[in-house]
Chains A and B, each alone.
Chain A
Amino acid sequence: MALEPGSPGPQAVEARPSAWGGLTVLLDTPAKRVVAIVAILLVMAVAPQIFGAYITVILTNALLYAILALGLNIVVGYAGLLDLGYAAFFAVGAYSVGILTTEFGWNFWATLPVAVVAAAVAGVVIGGPTLRLRSDYLAIVTLGFGEIVRITARNLQITGAASGISGIDQPWLYGWHIVSQSDFYYVFLALAVVAVLVSVRLANSRLGRAWLYVRHDEDAAEAMGIDRVRVKLAAYVIGAIYGSIGGAFFAVNLTAISPQSFSFQQSTLFLMAVILGGMGKIPGVILGAFVVVLGPEFLRDLGSFRYLVFAVGLLLIMLFRPGGIWPAGGRR
């Protein structure tokens, strides 16, 4: 991943004056940032009361994407590994919950640890042998893995084959039956907040610094005593767990899951959220998730052209602003 001199890498882009100069000034001190975060959380907290049911559904979906994009961001943005099969982990979580609650009558909350362990195991199984490979081989292996999971889910009886699993019970939490759309909105909001906190803490941890190092120069990192395979594997597994938890709550929110929800296109949407906003930058990734979910809603009039608009947008961003739309700053 080392940059050659004069290459238009992220650093070179970050040095350029940002078109978002005004926003950078708005957020340039910690105090201002706290105010901004509190303001955003307050707006998010009252959003379902203000905007009504339809928008609440869309915002819930955006929050789900934010959680998944934050997880993928750990793999792609922090550790610099391209994962094109992230929907597989999303599927592992969703199917763990779906199978255990409907076939075996488990309580939803009891299935969560299973979903997490299953995702971690899947992450190790696929990441362990392949993380030693060149980075572009990894991309294609993850793609193949994503397809394997989807096809397997489509062909097995226990996963309900092509029609999937339906009738998944919505969970109770201390006498609160999480059932309405706004209930789920708040659950996803809380999950997203936790996801952000974990991401921030991880970025500033010893592991986070190791990722930064491995991302910028793998060989130098190894020479400094970082076990690059282990560090990458950690990113891979943590990303998988994010995806699995997202998938678990996705399953109880919709109460029905089917293989179409875990396609390659889904994986590219998650990746797009990470890249549009800005790999490695938490506010950017969240913004990216909202753009990916809300964008097609705004472009609904364009019909099938909206995906073309999105694809061209992704290409333009890679060519002209490879660091994403969120302005760069700080240590990263």
Chain B
Amino acid sequence: MTLVTLLAQQLVNGLVLGSFYALVALGYTMVFGVVKLLNFAHGDVYMVGAFAGFVVLSLIGGMVGTSWLGVGLSILLSMIAVGFLGVVIERIAYAPMLRAPRLSILITALAVSLVLQNSVLSLTQGQVFAFSPKLGFAGINIGAVFINYKQVALAVVAALLMIGLELFVSRTQYGRAMRAVSVDRDMSELMGIDVNRVIAVTFFAGSALAAAAGTMAGAYYGSIWYFMGFLIGLKAFTAAVIGGIGSIPGAMLGGLVLGLLESFGTTLPGIGSEWKDVFSFTVLILVLVFKPTGLLGKSEQERM
């Protein structure tokens, strides 16, 4: 394998990884923009999304098969189910806390994360499940680089979801309300915006995107377990911070940047794949220290 092929292969890997990060980072950033809450449980929502997709696929697999159509449908159904889960979580755990001191909200979010994790742990007895849809190993060769159809589909779906979100936020009534609430919540309320509904929509959309990422990750990597959301939650948060937390294009950009940084960073001499996570956390800390507003973020006053 020549150096060029290696780099091109890493580019593909980085884009795949980056798509997952970007989808999950969007949920962080949207929720943060609207309610100024760091949703620690978001990585676990992704994990629940993977399990939801798994369950859906085993239920409908008999009817539609476990190939592309089946996986597509399970992504869709998982998104809807987990979207509602996000709304329920917001209503039960976060709504009563939104005006409480910051430390209390953070710990509540952590508690939600532990509840989700341990619920799945109890239900699955901590087992790793094989998520093995029949998507085949076919692909296309571009020059010397092999890209399989799974990677193509993943990138396309991620791009479509992000374009859809962007259109939703910039063109629809709810999107405008969402932007208004993120600028000034109290004033939006006075202008007649149903803030609670906007928050619910935000949680729905963020959780649905995480569920899509979770199901796709399960189908792509082939296994799911209760702890799979922890690391990606942390990474996606890193991506959101790199892009500028609160900024939707920032989250997409940050996700791709982090994905590429990781896949190229681990090919550097001296940084093997066992140091991959250390590498991204170091990036996180450096970004926070030197440019806390991220690539596309605006500086913001701490909420008092």
Contacts and interface: CB of A to CB of B under 8 A. Distances in A.
Q: Are A and B a genuine interacting pair, yes or no?
A: yes
Interface residues of A, number: 49
Contact of A315 (B106, B115, B121, B126): B115
B100 A143 contact: no
A214 B266 CA distance: 41
A305 B120 CA distance: 10
Interface in A175-220: 219
Contacts of B100: 7-9, 322
B160 interface: no
Contacts of A7: 99-101
Given A135-B103, A152-B278, A319 B115 contact: no
Nearest to B119: A308
Contacts of A134: 292, 302
20 contacts: A4-B99, A129-B289, A130-B288, A137-B241, A137-B288, A139-B38, A140-B284, A145-B281, A219-B304, A264-B230, A271-B107, A279-B103, A304-B121, A304-B122, A307-B122, A308-B119, A311-B118, A315-B111, A318-B111, A319-B93
Interface of A, secondary structure class, is helix
Contacts of A135: 102-103, 106, 302
Contacts of B256: none
Contacts of A268: 110, 114
B70 to A, nearest CB: 31
Nearest to B125: A304
Interface of B: 38, 93, 96-97, 99-104, 106-108, 110-112, 114-115, 117-119, 121-122, 125-126, 230, 234, 237-238, 241, 274-275, 277-278, 281-282, 284-285, 288-289, 292, 302, 304
Interface stretch (A54-62, A76-84, A105-113): A76-84
Contact of B102 (A1, A143, A279, A314): A1
Nearest to A314: B111
Contact of B106 (A82, A147, A311): A82
**Cβ-closest 9 pairs across A and B:** A311-B114, A144-B281, A315-B111, A308-B118, A136-B38, A314-B111, A129-B289, A311-B115, A318-B108
